[in-house]
Amino acid sequence: MSSSLQDSACPLYVAGKWIHPQGLGFTPVFNPSRGEVIATVPLCGAAEVNEVVAAAKAAFPAWRDTPPNERAQVLFRLKILLEDAFEELCLGISTEHGKTLSEARGDLRRGIEVVEYACGIPTLLMGESLENIARGIDCHTDRHPLGVVTGICPFNFPALVPMWMWPIAIACGNTFVLKPSEKVPLTMQRVVGLLEKAGLPPGVLNIVHGGRECVDALLTHPDIAAVSFVGSTPIAREIHRKASAAGKRVQAAGGAKNFVILMPDADPDRTIEAVKDAAFGCAGERCMAGSTAVAVGEAGSRLLPGLADLVSSMKVGPTDVRESQPDMGAVISAEHRNRVAGLIDAGEKGGAKVLTDGRATRVDDAPDGFFLGPSVIDQVTPDNPLMHTEVFGPVLTVLRADTLEQAIALANAQAFGNGAAIFTNSGKAAREFRRQVSAGMVGINVGVPAPLAYFPFTGWNDSFFGDLHIQGREGVEFFTQRKTTTTRWFSFGDGEVWAK
């Protein structure tokens, strides 16, 4: 490795200190717009995990005993610092991820909203009580932190997904070990710098880096009480299995294939615009991307030509220059671009019709970037290779159905269950869809029905493994355990004690 890349190695953050571990392998971090390596990430194993968890464990008693209102003050200060650094952080997100600046703003804004939500922790932690459950006996239940908890993150939201986890976890009084995606480690590094300025005590939030070996060490570490994971379904399922077997509380959000039902009575212009955004926002690398449309009856002829035209006009390009932003950026890696292009090839061979073809897209001013233009693929059938997997790229696959019932059946036939949306002007169709579709987050004329911080992120089926979801009150429940106290005071006899 060249010395300049060694200089750009991401440090671990342990007990308030930035540490460069020695003797480890590294993996590169790319700027997807340019195809250039901009940093490297150390691949930690059990030894580094032990060190980081020990720091979090040591910090736990004092942080647990810090009043919730004082813990919230750190987050209030962080909120101000995040606002001050907002634009700079967003450009950093665009640079390490490839999403446009406006998408990066959404990524960070949604993350800041979780910080704001966690600022309300004194109220959120309140328990319940009932006086006189029997004569002279009272009962109350309150919430306690779990101890050391960990968060393992995917690449697609460098700010939001980690911030789904640690603001609520630390506000509840836990200490945290964050394992960012090895593809996008830089955003959280910058945010932790702000947390330091906000006065977070050393050891409350720590960062470890790596891949499978690092994650395995976290999942089985005896001092970790809970695991919050977000990533692809095969890994989420495995994380849930391993961490549960190790006796930990687990929430594991997985991949998705979100259906968007287009009804013949949908408002054409607004539907086309919303479906384009749902499918191609963040280059389709969103767990809530509307990746799979079902055109019901005449909806196909009414909506698809206009949609294909709109998508063809999208400008694809580098996102790391503030002044010139495209409509869509690069995908995360050359390997991922090739995988998605290969899926389009296979889909076409399987009988689908390519209405808009992004495979040949080239970007002259960034020839080495990981670009793939947006593609709309029509006449996809359930047995087409595009339907067998989460594509997670700038591809909208379109199926056809004669009725709403058939469209819902197509949506419910696949294993995922994150989001689903319908575009219609019929309240009855919308109500039927909302009731019958087997997905945890539903949009009615909303293409990306991703809940904000105050609501849980309620994936179903193979999109979520566990009981308590991420964010909102379920997030607070996940990061706390209840203690129920039953109290009786014996009478000493009137005035007897005081008289002695």
Query: Quick one: which of 21, 167, 231, 317 contacts ligand NAD (CB under 6 A)?
Result: 231
Compare residues 272 and 283 and give the one whose CB is closer to ligand NAD. 283
Q: CA separation (Å) from 14 to 59, 178, 202, 207, 422?
A: 11, 11, 8, 7, 46
We find the least distance from the C-beta atom of residue 475 to ligand NAD, in angstroms, to be 12
With CB under 6 A as the contact rule, the residue among 169, 235, 429, 441 that binds ligand NAD is 235
Q: Which of 426, 148, 399, 186 is nearest to 290 (CA)?
A: 399
Q: Whole-angstrom Cα distance, residue 474 to residue 253?
A: 14
Please, what is the minimum distance in Å from the beta carbon of residue 54 to ligand NAD? 21
Nearer to ligand NAD, 287 or 354 (CB): 287
38 Cβ partners below 8 Å, 6+ apart?
8, 29, 30, 31, 95, 96, 186
Among candidate residues 10, 119, 153, 287, the one labeled active-site is 287
Q: Does 355 bind ligand NAD (CB under 6 A)?
A: no
- How far apart CA 271 and CA 277 sit, in angstroms, is 10
Neighbours of 146 (CB within 10 A): 21
Stretch touching ligand NAD by CB under 6 A, among 186-194, 230-238, 322-330, 360-368:
230-238
Q: Which residues contact 41 (CB under 8 A, 6 or more apart)?
A: 9, 10, 26, 27, 28, 29, 182, 185, 209, 210
Minimum separation from the CB atom of position 339 to ligand NAD (A)? 11
Give whichever of 212 and 270 is closer to ligand NAD, judged by the CB atom: 212
* Three-state DSSP class for residue 413: coil
* Choice from 11, 35, 211, 306 touching ligand NAD (CB under 6 A): 211
> What's the closest the beta carbon of residue 478 comes to ligand NAD, in angstroms?
14
CB of 181 to ligand NAD, least distance (A): 5
**Which residues, 415 to 454, sit near ligand NAD by CB under 6 A?**
418
Selection from 112, 110, 114 nearest residue 124 by Cα: 114
Cα dihedral 122, 79, 167, 56 sign: negative
Q: Is-contact 422 432, C-beta < 8 A?
A: no
Give me the least distance between CB of 425 and ligand NAD, in Å please: 30
Q: Does residue 333 interact with ligand NAD by CB under 6 A?
A: no
**Residue 155 contacts ligand NAD per CB under 6 A:** yes
By CB under 6 A, residue 414 contacts ligand NAD: no
DSSP string over 41-85: EE---HHHHHHHHHHHHHHHHHHHTS-HHHHHHHHHHHHHHHHHT
Site string for ligand NAD, 7-26 (x = CB under 6 A): --------------------
- Single out the residue of 118, 119, 207, 215 in contact with ligand NAD (rule: CB under 6 A): 215
Look up residue 453 and give its two tokens: 């911080």
Query: Which single residue is written with the structure tokens 């280059």?
Result: 283
Q: Does 176 bind ligand NAD (CB under 6 A)?
A: no
Three-state DSSP at 299 gives helix
Query: In this chain, which of 255, 374, 443, 447 binds ligand NAD, going by CB under 6 A?
Result: 255
- What is the secondary structure of 317-366 as a DSSP string? ---S-TTS--SB---S-HHHHHHHHHHHHHHHHTT-EEEE--TT---TT-
Residue 156 within binding range of ligand NAD, rule CB under 6 A: yes
**287 in catalytic set:** yes
As a whole number of angstroms, the distance between CA 311 and CA 243 comes to 42
Comparison of 118 and 230: residue with beta carbon closer to ligand NAD = 230
Could you say whether residue 458 binds ligand NAD (CB under 6 A)?
A: no
Q: Does 256 bind ligand NAD (CB under 6 A)?
A: yes
The span from the CA of 53 to the CA of 176, in Å, is 8
Residues lying near ligand NAD in the complex (CB under 6 A) are found at: 152-157, 161, 179, 181-182, 211-212, 215, 230-232, 235, 253-256, 287, 390, 392, 418, 457, 459, 463
Q: Which residues are designated catalytic?
A: 287
